[in-house]
Structure 1
Amino acid sequence: MSGVYAEDCKDRSNISRWCKFFEEGRVNLLESPRAGRPVTASTERNVTAMEQTILVDRRVHLRTLSARFNISYGTVFDIVHDRLNFSKVCDRWVPKNLTDDHKGQRMIASLDHLRRYAAEGQTFLEEIVTGDESWV
């Protein structure tokens, strides 16, 4: 019984059910596909289509994506958060990880600030206004 957890063996009903499965010719204990929503809801095609939809309209709701792709809300949530690495900020979907282009833009801005600080000194720092990056 390799791959079977010890806590499952404590339950006699599980053991009886497994014996019945093996008598019927089943060769493993993994669950078989069942009727209902398809298991392949998070196909690469759906993931890519969702990403394109989010990039076109960053304010799209998960329920809208769920209805558009006929996929459960939970699956849409997993795709958007876990596979695409988006998070909701100020009612917009933004990538959790910076792209190489974003990193380059931040590097250029940082170098520009360092050059201006070297040239202008403390007065430059007093003129910096910080805030939400979405307007920049």
Structure 2
Amino acid sequence: MEKSEFRVLIKHYFLRKKTITETKAKLDKYYGDSAPSISMVKKWFTEFRCGRTSTEDAERPGRLVEVSSPKTIKKIHDMVLADRRLKVQEIVEAVGISHGSVVSILNDHLGMRNLSARWVPRLLTVDHKRNRVTTSQEGLGCLIAIRRSFCAVL
């Protein structure tokens, strides 16, 4: 049985002018191990005595648990794609969320890691790998050509 259903039963016994021990005994008789504890029954009797009528959980103030909304993730992704040398602190200041949340979004949601001061995808596609190989070969070819021309001058 749900917590809210037990609260309704406790309220029912409260309104019928039963005592806390009578209420606990009835709940134990019918629900056994799943019945709420005596301290919980006392807590709800106190709440009802103070004028509470609702058996639902009260609203709790505070910050939202989930800051990694799709909107935030997209904003961070766009920023990183625009400048891969972006620092986490710069993202924190731009988006307005904590350092840990930004790192979590980059690592867990976007699958990126910081490599040589650049944010790169963790798992490269075949096209990405091919592009890296051709770029590296072109750079190596330029380096060899420069070395040959340097040796020819000497």
Asked if residue 84 in structure 1 is aligned to residue 110 in structure 2, the reply is yes
Unaligned segments of structure 1, at least 5 residues: 3-11, 110-136
Tell me which protein shows more helix as a share of its residues.
Answer: 2
**CA distance in structure 2 between the aligned counterparts of 1:62 and 1:33, rounded to whole angstroms:** 34
Residue number in structure 1 paired with 2:65? 39
Q: Deviations over 1:70-108 (max 9, x none)?
A: 1111111110000001101111111001135225547x9
Distance change >3 Å, CA 74–CA 101, structure 1 → 2: same
5 Å matches for 1:46-125?
Answer: 46-103=72-129, 105=131
SS at match of 2:114: strand
- Long gaps (5+) in structure 2: 3-36, 48-52, 135-154
CA RMSD after TM alignment? 3.7
Q: How high is the TM-score relative to the length of structure 2?
A: 0.47
Q: Is 1:26 the counterpart of 2:56 in the alignment?
A: yes
